[in-house]
């Protein structure tokens, strides 16, 4: 069973046990923010900001943040990653399935003058009640400062008192590069869809754009591992990827002339014989020293 199939199977089991599941005391779930469009820069910002907000809120020992993997399983099963994400109507069910006591429902809108408005409401899973919105406004260049302002306001709304050390950790910006932030958001979206190959590529792009973007580097490494597991291959060395069977066959045929040359120095027969119907790939590497 592939990793994606296993995750989806887990999500279906959660749905089947929905009525008997219960929320963990103090657990908070943070679904992707809703954006005006399902794709594009604003959508990437919505995914990135929700993810970074979850990281900031996890700095407090008083809060338990729902694991990203568990949230992704449920969102895929309910088809909420692309279509509408999570709103006040779907929040109680999502919260119950992921075991959250509260969900933070966010959205991002474009305003005249090139500004964005980011708003977050706190939804109680048990009662279905939604608080009034906590919002911040900023230009795209200041959007990360707006996310920090939201985080501190949410700590107050959730009744959390931060220690000086926790407050200092929350205040640190993971990146100041907007292009890296866009790529990171696309990676988060791909990860929630279970598309680990695209997630690895986008997180890798974010890391290359801003080499100091530590969360992007960590997520890129994790996504590469998950992509390898899904493909049924193992990454043996950095920069080496698995080759699928159809590709192996083509490469094998391309290497037959090399096989013919190298076979002159070894006995024929078995897998060493160019006529052998296998998928052996011969690679000749020439190393030239200066």
Q: For 120-161, what is each residue's pLDDT tens digit? A: 999 888 888 888 889 898 998 899 999 999 999 999 999 999
**Residues 6 or more apart whose Cβ sits within 8 Å of residue 3:** 196, 226, 229, 230
241 band by pLDDT with thresholds 50, 70 and 90: very low
Q: What is the DSSP string of 126-183?
A: TT--BPPPEEEEEEGGGHHHHHHHHHHHHHHHTT----HHHHHHHHS-S---HHHHHH
**Residues 6 or more apart whose Cβ sits within 8 Å of residue 246:** none
Using a cut of 0.75, tell me whether the model's pTM lies above it. Answer: no
Lowest mean pLDDT among 3-12, 75-84, 190-199, 202-211: 3-12
Q: Would the pLDDT of 283 be above 90?
A: no
Comparing C-alpha atoms, which of 233, 177, 165, 245 is closest to residue 210? Answer: 177
Percent of the chain with pLDDT over 90: 44
Q: Is the separation of the CB atoms in 100 and 28 below 8 Å?
A: yes
Coil/strand/helix, residue 87: coil
Comparing C-alpha atoms, which of 33, 6, 157, 31 is closest to residue 93? Answer: 31
3 band by pLDDT with thresholds 50, 70 and 90: low
Burial class (CB in 10 A: 0-12, 13-18, 19+), 225: middle
Q: For 172-182, what is each residue's pLDDT tens digit? A: 999 999 999 99
Task: Write down the mean pLDDT value for the chain.
Answer: 78
- Which domains does the chain show, CATH number per domain? 3-173 (3.40.50.10070), 244-290 (no CATH)
Q: What is the DSSP string of 184-251?
A: HHHHHHHHHHT-HHHHHHHHHHHHHH-TT-HHHHHHHHHHHHHHHHHHT----STT-----HHHHHHH
Residue 249 has a pLDDT of 46
Q: Would the pLDDT of 165 be above 90?
A: yes
Q: What is the DSSP string of 229-245?
A: HHHT----STT-----H
């Amino acid at each position: 069973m592939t990793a994606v199939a296993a995750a989806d199977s887990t999500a279906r089991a959660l749905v089947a046990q929905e009525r008997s599941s219960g929320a963990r005391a103090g657990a908070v779930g943070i679904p992707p923010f809703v954006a005006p469009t399902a794709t594009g820069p604003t959508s990437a910002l919505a995914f990135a900001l929700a993810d970074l907000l979850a990281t900031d809120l996890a700095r407090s020992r008083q809060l338990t943040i729902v694991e990203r993997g568990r949230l992704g399983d449920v969102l895929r099963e309910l088809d909420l990653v692309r279509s509408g994400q999570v709103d006040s109507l779907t929040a109680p069910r999502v919260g119950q399935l992921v075991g959250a006591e509260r969900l933070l429902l966010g959205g991002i809108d474009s305003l005249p003058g090139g500004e964005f408005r980011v708003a977050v409401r706190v939804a109680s899973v048990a009662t279905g009640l939604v608080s009034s919105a906590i919002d911040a406004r900023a230009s795209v260049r200041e959007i990360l400062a707006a996310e920090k302002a939201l985080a501190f306001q949410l700590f107050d709304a959730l009744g959390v008192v931060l220690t000086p050390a926790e407050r200092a950790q929350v205040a640190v910006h993971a990146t100041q590069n907007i292009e890296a932030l866009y790529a990171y958001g696309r990676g988060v979206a791909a990860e929630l869809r279970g598309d680990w190959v695209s997630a690895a590529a986008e997180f890798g792009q974010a890391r290359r754009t801003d080499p100091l973007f530590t969360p992007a580097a960590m997520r890129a490494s994790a996504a590469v591992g998950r992509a390898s597991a899904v493909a049924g291959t193992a990454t043996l060395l950095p920069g080496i990827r698995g080759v699928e069977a159809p590709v192996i066959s083509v490469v094998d045929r391309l290497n037959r002339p090399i096989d013919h040359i190298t076979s002159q120095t070894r006995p024929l027969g078995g897998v060493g014989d160019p006529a052998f119907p296998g998928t052996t790939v011969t690679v000749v590497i020439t190393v030239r020293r200066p």
